[in-house]
Structure 1
């Protein structure tokens, strides 16, 4: 910090090994002080309310608390602790999700597959208001940006694609979604396929993982979704 005080950091992750590894990595940064830890969102929000800190280092997938996890949790923290710097830890390699993090004000992202020393670097950058992405995160952006012809926005899902993904991960089949939305099976199948392609995913299991982290699992049909019985076509 500019005044000589160390950067106060809270670490949140539901895996004890990651908590230990992150704390060990940050011990190598004399300007960083870990002031608290948390393992789920209820504990995290309580800690942030009680313990003064400058930066939160948090896992993206951290189920089990009353405030959820993924993008909904990060959004909640951004709204209620606007001065707090955030560094997100994640195993997800999905450019669309990473861009959504950036859109809600997260400028530091570290992939857990990278050396955990990148957490300390990200903290230093975020404290100065500068973006930081670890090597694996940068590689994902570079690859998908190239695949999209440089247009990262092309990787974002349309409202109808979001609705198809939301219904699919809720347990409906493509045929059931077609009936629910009054569209053809071919249209629903195409929209699901396009969603996978835009997100850089290959398997349905990856789509479930994305949907959970993006908060689509709990999204009601009234939130950002196209209502059933729309025009019937994309």
Structure 2
């Protein structure tokens, strides 16, 4: 018998929202659990500090919501983004709500592209956080005011003056996160050879002599 996704295991009218907390700091998870479980309709059913732990916990706990920090134990924000994509691909009905310290329009947009339904910063007040969790549980989107503003600013940024294609822009964003050609290929589901081709074109169009210079030039043009 096929296994249902975590969110599909509960009816639409469920009175308790099952939540898994993913954050590499135990004290943050404990604080969140204490705050959220004061709400009668919210229940923390699992915690994880790493992406690997999160995949295991979500599989067993079958939550409706994953509260996800982007910065996990590896020290960068790409692992959290990759985990977001993995979770939403495996469990399309699962609601991923990003809760992070990073306030960056590009990250907000990237998280949405990877299936997140909401994005809030960690200093948001408890009332707004709970409101966001309930909205995502209803399969709505939810963003705090600053995240929404950053996202709009990012989406309204000037279009690529050098004439970069959408694929080249995607590769450029991964370059900005410090990924290797092989890692970029894995993220975008293209071969390493194809990545090298796109990187050469990006450098040529931006007049850059290195990958780092390409990222710098792109940042000046507000492409990333």
Q: Quote the RMSD (CA, aligned, Å).
A: 3.5
Higher RCO (CA < 8 A, seq sep 6+): 1
Cα deviation, residue 199, structure 1 = 5.9
Mapped to 2, the partners of 1:191 and 1:123 lie a distance apart of: 35
Match of 2:36 in 1: 26
Correspondent of 1:166 among 175, 189, 199: 175
Match of 1:140 in 2: 150
Match of 1:194 in 2: 218
Cα deviation, residue 139, structure 1 = 3.0
- Residue 47 of structure 2 corresponds to residue 37 of structure 1: yes
Partner SS, residue 83 of structure 1: coil
- Residue 132 of structure 2 corresponds to residue 112 of structure 1: no
Match of 2:95 in 1: 85
Correspondent of 2:84 among 67, 70, 74: 74
| Structure 1 stretches lacking a partner, 5+ long | 172-179, 201-234
Cα deviation, residue 196, structure 1 = 4.9
Correspondent of 1:95 among 105, 111, 124: 105
Return the TM-score normalized by structure 1: 0.65
Cα deviation, residue 108, structure 1 = 1.2
Correspondent of 1:49 among 45, 59, 66: 59
* Matched positions, count: 185
Return the TM-score normalized by structure 2: 0.67
| Structure 2 stretches lacking a partner, 5+ long | 1-10, 160-164, 181-198
Cα deviation, residue 3, structure 1 = 3.2
> Contact 2:172–2:215 (CA<8 Å) still a contact in 1?
no
Mapped to 2, the partners of 1:5 and 1:89 lie a distance apart of: 23
Cα deviation, residue 191, structure 1 = 5.8
> Contact 1:161–1:195 (CA<8 Å) still a contact in 2?
no
